[in-house]
Structure 1
Amino acid sequence: MSGSLLIKNTHLLHPEAGALTGPGWLEAVDGRIAATGTGRPPASSDRDRRVIDAKGATALPGLIDAHVHLLLTTLRFHEIADWAPSYMTARAFGEAGRMLRRGFTTVRDVGGADWGMARAIQEGLVQGPRLVFGGKALTQTGGHGDMRGRSDNSRPCCEIGPGFARIADGVDAVRAAARDEFRKGARHLKVLLSGGVASPHDEVSSVQYTEEEIGAAVAEAANHNRYVTVHAYHPRGIDLALRAGARCVEHGNLINDETVQLLLDKDAFLVPTLITYDMMARFGKQHGMSEVAYGKIADVREAGLGALERAHRAGVQVVYGSDLLGPLCDHQLEEFTLRAQIVPAADLIRSATTTAARLLGMDGLIGTLAVGAHADLLIVDGDPLDDIGVLTRPREKLRHVVKGGSVVV
């Protein structure tokens, strides 16, 4: 990205410090943050430089959602079997554009998105956040990613479902699947380690995969300078994964104090996704969610805030994630609202900026206003440190979204 951008008369929100500067400025050159300061900006001879007068508004780093599924644009999973990959991708790009307009300049897809989607966004063929993808998640036969009905006796060799997961049973199959996903550019590997709400035939407390299988996934990830994240709710599965070397836990609604301590001991990350259960409970049925899936929501919804409180109080590295599917994605920012019952605004903002960047291996490159970082930022009316609702009402409060130094919204 060439050219320069100057934002003046703005308060800069630095997540690292959890504080606003006095009125100041930020300059981006060739897509990177080149300089920041207080007071009046220095003069420039660049006639092509775009200038935004923020008029006292707040500039902060673009938001990061570390748990999305761009390809899962419906809760009627039975319909997806008839969708062509091109149709699924077109729908996904529509949602990617909406995520950008909500203020998310980076998302981590944890099941489905691939290198072609990331490349299309990077080249500007479609509008969307920076896409950090993990390819297909690994599931055991009958696991969370195996969406076949009980009467379906087909034996898929590998990839199954709505572009979300692939079956891998046994150490050798897990190694081969992991290598294949990394071959295709995956930035992480997701292992489906327990049952889930959307899967038809398992319990959320079940443990899927053995210690040896998880260890194989972790070893392959380490060999490729990548990491393993696990879908898991119950301490039985989470503890197994953490001891095997998994770096991140998705959901974790049923964690206890012992698991919290293990997260700390292993310097691991936790990505709660509270809003998805709240929205499924409220709107899931009207959007086609099955009765079986709907019946599982209570198992995890009620425990979610308590798990977040344990983790936050202990100092676990907690990252922002939404995990919303289909039409429920409109509520992506409401994860802030739920967490605000427990977590102060400064920590909430860090979870969606600096802490998330650290999980993604992009510390210092995104989620910050530091010099040298990608110029991904938002300009909002109000102070999110004083009122987190400034971030949850983009139609009212979001003035500009800047990605790579260009104003995209």
Structure 2
Amino acid sequence: MSVSVEDGVIREVSDRPIKADGARRIDVGGKTLMPGLIDLHVHAYFSDMNAKLVDSRDAPYRTAHAVKKLGHALDCGFTTVRDIGGGDYSLASAIEDRLIRAPRFFYAGKVLSMTGGHVDYRTPNEQHHTHGYCSCGSMNWGGVVVDGVDACIKAAREELRRGAHCIKIVASGGVMSPSDPMWMNQFREDETRAIVNECIERRTYVSAHCHPVSAIRRSIEFGVRCIEHATLIDAETARFVAERGAFVVPTMSVIFVSMEVGAALGMTPDSMAKLEVAADAAIEGLQHMRDAGVKMGFGTDLLGSTYDRQCREFEFRRQVFTPLEMLRQATSTGAEILMQEGQLGCVRPGAHADLIVVDGDPLKDIALLAADGRKLDLIMRAGEIVKNRLD
């Protein structure tokens, strides 16, 4: 096959040599040309396992971390990422203007949380809290605490005004937050539906952090399009998700990598205990979703210094999925979740020229993509070659 690229776009794909006077020609030589990978769950600014410490270090430190993390992702073949909490217009603009070497960048802006929810990082003994957008008293860099329909609408509109690709809410408890159990459902129906409606009017969608089945089911019933994590999903709920045509982005890396190094990096005993609950159910949940035919994307959610384990997501998923299934999760299904079908995650005329060349056949050996970029001979992002070992 031959592929021609011009002005950052794939112009032609042919089973015959393509005539193009003056074009630079690169012989892939029997290796595998495929779309660049898509990681749908990153937090570029999350520079430490302790979210409150991230906030106190201020923007320059967080930005320096983002530069290093995003550069590593690009070197691993991830030509697109979705920052699902914390990414902003400034970082996206710096990437667009090529001040930062990074993948294509979609962002959800600040995560919306209710008081006492997963992104309210105050410990139970902390009383201070100033209500109102952008003065939530904790985790200002990545989240905003909102209660009631009007506050939810205002916060959603504000993030969309700031260029958010979608809106992220926390619809259940989580591992890292200090005062909410994982089984807790968060946001009322009217609050969730209000946020969903704002996204519909903007022709985009809501993605919801969910661990337990109750949060997954009610979120989808209330109009949420994409579920993050779904760690505790069972077979019945997986079938429900599939029937509704919703998407799920599981995140195995953050669970199992944090189990390995979390305590050493400062995770609290309470968070480690919640992490064990997630780990016990995570792989079984993947099997439930595969059996039900749930459409799944590829996400990692790695925090702090663990970002360099991004490619291990393939290692964890291979316990359940075939290489072809994982390749689709990390390319075409990811593009569908991003509402970028035909533009990303494919090699076809009119698509963005985000391409990688693999030294081998990932359909036979998915470990080629789990090697932190060492098995990638070429990486192209928006038509620009950022790595080339073929010439």
Q: Which TM-score band (shorter chain)?
A: over 0.9
Matches within 5 A, 1:320-399: 320-399=298-377
Unaligned runs of 5+ in 2: none
Structure-1-length-normalised TM-score: 0.91
Quote how far apart the aligned CAs of 1:51 are: 2.4
Quote how far apart the aligned CAs of 1:30 are: 0.7
**After superposition, what is the alpha-carbon deviation per residue over 1:94-141, rounded to whole angstroms, capped at 9, x for unaligned?**
211111111100001110001111111111111101111000010011
- Are 1:287 and 2:265 matched, yes or no? yes
Q: Is the 8 A contact 2:359 2:377 kept in 1?
A: yes
Distance in 1, matches of 2:133 and 2:268, equals 25
Secondary structure of 1:173's match? helix
Counterpart pick for 2:155 among 165, 171, 177: 177
Secondary structure of 1:73's match? coil
Distance in 2, matches of 1:297 and 1:309, equals 19
Residues 1:304 and 1:123: Cα distance change in structure 2 (over 3 Å): same
Secondary structure of 1:65's match? strand
Structure-2-length-normalised TM-score: 0.95
Quote how far apart the aligned CAs of 1:25 are: 2.0
Secondary structure of 1:84's match? helix
Secondary structure of 2:274's match? helix
Which is worse superposed, 83-92 or 123-132?
Answer: 83-92
Aligned to 2:71: 97
- Are 1:299 and 2:277 matched, yes or no? yes
Aligned to 2:56: 82
Distance in 2, matches of 1:42 and 1:368, equals 19
Amino acid at match of 2:15: T
Aligned to 1:106: 80
Quote how far apart the aligned CAs of 1:89 are: 1.5
Aligned to 2:26: 52
**After superposition, what is the alpha-carbon deviation per residue over 1:148-168, rounded to whole angstroms, capped at 9, x for unaligned?**
122221123333405111001
Q: Is the 8 A contact 1:97 1:128 kept in 2?
A: yes
Residues 1:73 and 1:50: Cα distance change in structure 2 (over 3 Å): farther
Counterpart pick for 1:122 among 96, 121, 136: 96
Secondary structure of 2:289's match? helix
Aligned-residue CA RMSD (Å): 1.3
Quote how far apart the aligned CAs of 1:80 are: 2.3
Secondary structure of 1:191's match? strand
**After superposition, what is the alpha-carbon deviation per residue over 1:298-342, rounded to whole angstroms, capped at 9, x for unaligned?**
111111111111111111101101011111111111111111111
Distance in 1, matches of 2:62 and 2:283, equals 33
Structure whose residues are more often strand by fraction: 1
Aligned to 1:400: 378
Aligned to 2:237: 259
Q: Is the 8 A contact 2:206 2:224 kept in 1?
A: yes
Secondary structure of 1:74's match? coil
Q: Is the 8 A contact 1:345 1:385 kept in 2?
A: yes
Amino acid at match of 2:59: P
Distance in 1, matches of 2:221 and 2:20, equals 55
Unaligned runs of 5+ in 1: 1-23
Quote how far apart the aligned CAs of 1:258 are: 2.6
Quote how far apart the aligned CAs of 1:297 are: 0.5
Secondary structure of 2:56's match? coil
* Matched length: 383
Which is worse superposed, 55-64 or 89-98?
Answer: 89-98
**After superposition, what is the alpha-carbon deviation per residue over 1:348-382, rounded to whole angstroms, capped at 9, x for unaligned?**
10001000100001000010001110000101100
Quote how far apart the aligned CAs of 1:78 are: 4.0
Q: Is the 8 A contact 2:107 2:164 kept in 1?
A: yes
